[in-house]
Structure 1
Amino acid sequence: MSTFDPDALECLAAIIEEGGFERAAQRLSITQSAVSQRLRALEAQVGTVLIVRSRPLKPTPAGQLMLKHAKMMRLLRADLEKDLKELAPSSTGGREDERISVAINADSIATWALPALDALARDGLPIEIITDDQEFTHEWLREGQVLGCVTSLGQALRGCRMEPLGTMDYVAVAHADFVAQQLPKGLTAHNFHQVPFVAFNRKDTLQHSFVAKAFKLPRVILKQLFVPSSEGQIRAVASGWGVSVVPELGVRERLASGELVNLLPRHRLDVPLHWHCWNLHSDVLEALTAALRTAARRSLRPPARAAQGA
């Protein structure tokens, strides 16, 4: 197999990650012409086009494979840097542009996942967290753009390993004043369609799933507002915008104080979360896995037995 130029591989990764040649050049501190030359040389070596020059730019299937290879090389270099640092603490770290990317759903970032990565970030790991809905984070892994992801998908992807992390509980909440004015009899199967629900974005199906499950309905239509931030959703609810289905972890203190009201305390939506990562031996990958596993055990409900045996 051919040996690929590491600089050309990083150039390909930069073009894809930054979304263009100009920004890739800025990140790599080279000219845009040099970016184009490195890409053309890599495409000539591979024997096929690696990037579709469209708006936005996107990798071809071969480009996705080469991107994954580039990120594997990053992981190997990160492992080497870690070992060298233990042997020679004064040694310099890796380049800033060689990021170790993972995809984590926004609700996990806002509640339990970010503290799990504190020690790794302080130790100098150049981590990049990509956020998406828990039903879509695995697509970043499937495309080779991240080395691991937290997702609700319970089936291991090809070439990856998976372990259950635990279950995140979602509850329907609203501000106490909003409940008193708009929902004096509570949220019911007869009035849920009359109040606005604050969702993360148009891909967020949690609001619909919760209402359908709570009221045993095959299909629901909701009035929705969109706030693309987990913390923003909670702030919007606290400001009286409407109802939202959010992680119980994120509103526990506000519920205890009475500021927010759990509208259906007998109902919750259970979302099992899993960690998927490349099936490679890597100290950095093992450290990421262990950190997320430990944090999940502290904050999430234990995985179901069926999931543990999967």
Structure 2
Amino acid sequence: MSTFDPDALECLAAIVEEGGFERAAQRLSITQSAVSQRLRALEAQIGTVLIVRSRPLRPTSAGQLLLKHTKQMRLLRADLERDLKELAPSSTGGAREEERISIAINADSIATWALPALNDLARQGLPMEIITDDQDFTQEWLREGQVLGCVTTLKQALRGCKVVPLGAMEYVAVAQAQFARDHFPKGLGPHNFREHPFIAFNRKDDMQSEFVGKAFGLKRVTLNQLFVPSSEGQVRAVLAGWGASVVPELLARGLLEQGQLVNIAPAYTLPIQLYWHCWNLESEVLDSLTSALMQAAGGALSVG
């Protein structure tokens, strides 16, 4: 098997992660010409194109395989760093930019339980990169080899990966107190959900329509939606009277208790089962990430 130049592999990863040759050069502290030369040398060694020069840039199938290999090498180096620090705490410096350990987590988990789960690892110096996406799409980052693990709603494991159930996040329909009194005096129902806007995360987000459909037994639900690509931002928009929204109960709990938000469909809660997927590798770093997320989820999420 061919031996690949680690600098060339990190160059490929930098191009994909930074979205271009110029930003990759800045990150690696080399010239843009050097970035192009390293990529060309790697493509010549492989015998195929590794990057599609589109907008945005994206890796080819071969590029994705090499990107996954690069991430695995980072994981091995991170394991080595942890072991060396235990043997000789003063012998290692800070992690380099290219040593980042990338994971994909849905925005609602980031806004509620996931960040506290990672506190100890961050304080220990693990160079994490958290990528956010809709919970139904985070697995695509893992499939493409751009992260080593993800929190997702999908149960089926990818080849070479393992799956751990985390629990269910409970979602509730909420509105600002005065907005609820004015527009939902009898609560959300099967005949009034079209009359007022719902605040969704983005166009991928079908949480609002899924909640309404399942709450009232409707097969097709069309909503008037506004889009705010932030879990906390959705709640702020609701508080400002933009409309109603379906959000994690964990995120709304304090505001519901204070009376600033009102549960406009108290008879129904939508549970969304979450899973942690990661590469099936022997790694202390990966084991630590898995353990931390499982422990935090166990204390925050309901049993699925």
Pair in the same fold by TM > 0.5: yes
Counterpart contact for 1:170–1:269, Cα < 8 Å: yes
Q: Where has structure 1 moved over 6 Å in runs of 4 or more?
A: none
1:233 positional shift: 0.3
Distance in 2, Cα, partners of 1:60 & 1:271: 33
Distance in 2, Cα, partners of 1:143 & 1:97: 18
Report the TM-score when normalising by structure 1.
Answer: 0.97
Q: Which residue of 1 aligns with 2:83?
A: 83
Q: Which residue of 2 aligns with 1:70?
A: 70
1:93 positional shift: 3.2
Which amino acid is the alignment partner of residue 190 of structure 2? A
Counterpart contact for 1:255–1:261, Cα < 8 Å: yes
Given the alignment of the two structures, is residue 216 of structure 1 paired with residue 217 of structure 2, yes or no?
A: yes
Note the alpha carbon deviations across 1:199-240, whole angstroms, 9 max, x for none: 000000000000000110000110001000000000111111
Distance in 2, Cα, partners of 1:157 & 1:269: 26
Which amino acid is the alignment partner of residue 254 of structure 1? L
Distance in 2, Cα, partners of 1:72 & 1:216: 45
Q: How does 1:183-194 map to 2 (within 5 A)?
A: 183-194=184-195
Distance in 2, Cα, partners of 1:34 & 1:42: 12
Which SS does the other structure have where 1:167 is aligned? strand
Which amino acid is the alignment partner of residue 117 of structure 1? L
Counterpart contact for 1:255–1:262, Cα < 8 Å: yes
Measured on the aligned residues, the alpha-carbon RMSD in Å equals: 0.7
1:107 positional shift: 0.1
Unaligned residue ranges in structure 1 (runs of 5+):
304-310
Counterpart contact for 1:173–1:243, Cα < 8 Å: yes
Q: Which residue of 2 aligns with 1:11?
A: 11
Given the alignment of the two structures, is residue 168 of structure 1 paired with residue 169 of structure 2, yes or no?
A: yes
Note the alpha carbon deviations across 1:218-263, whole angstroms, 9 max, x for none: 0011000100000000011111111100000001011111111111
Which SS does the other structure have where 1:193 is aligned? coil
Report the TM-score when normalising by structure 2.
Answer: 0.99
Which amino acid is the alignment partner of residue 50 of structure 1? L
Q: Which residue of 2 aligns with 1:234?
A: 235
Distance in 2, Cα, partners of 1:180 & 1:52: 53
Distance in 1, Cα, partners of 2:220 & 2:266: 22
Counterpart contact for 1:168–1:300, Cα < 8 Å: yes
Q: Which residue of 2 aligns with 1:307?
A: none
Aligned length: 303
Q: Which residue of 2 aligns with 1:308?
A: none
Distance in 1, Cα, partners of 2:164 & 2:267: 29
Which SS does the other structure have where 2:212 is aligned? helix
Unaligned residue ranges in structure 2 (runs of 5+):
none
Q: Which residue of 1 aligns with 2:54?
A: 54
Counterpart contact for 1:81–1:93, Cα < 8 Å: no
Which SS does the other structure have where 2:297 is aligned? helix
Q: Which residue of 2 aligns with 1:306?
A: none
Counterpart contact for 2:184–2:264, Cα < 8 Å: no
Distance in 1, Cα, partners of 2:243 & 2:219: 23
Note the alpha carbon deviations across 1:125-181, whole angstroms, 9 max, x for none: 110000000000000000000000000001111110001000000000001100111
Q: How does 1:53-202 map to 2 (within 5 A)?
A: 53-90=53-90, 91-202=92-203
Which amino acid is the alignment partner of residue 101 of structure 2? I
Q: What is the identity percentage for the equivalent residue pairs of Structure 1 and Structure 2? A: 73
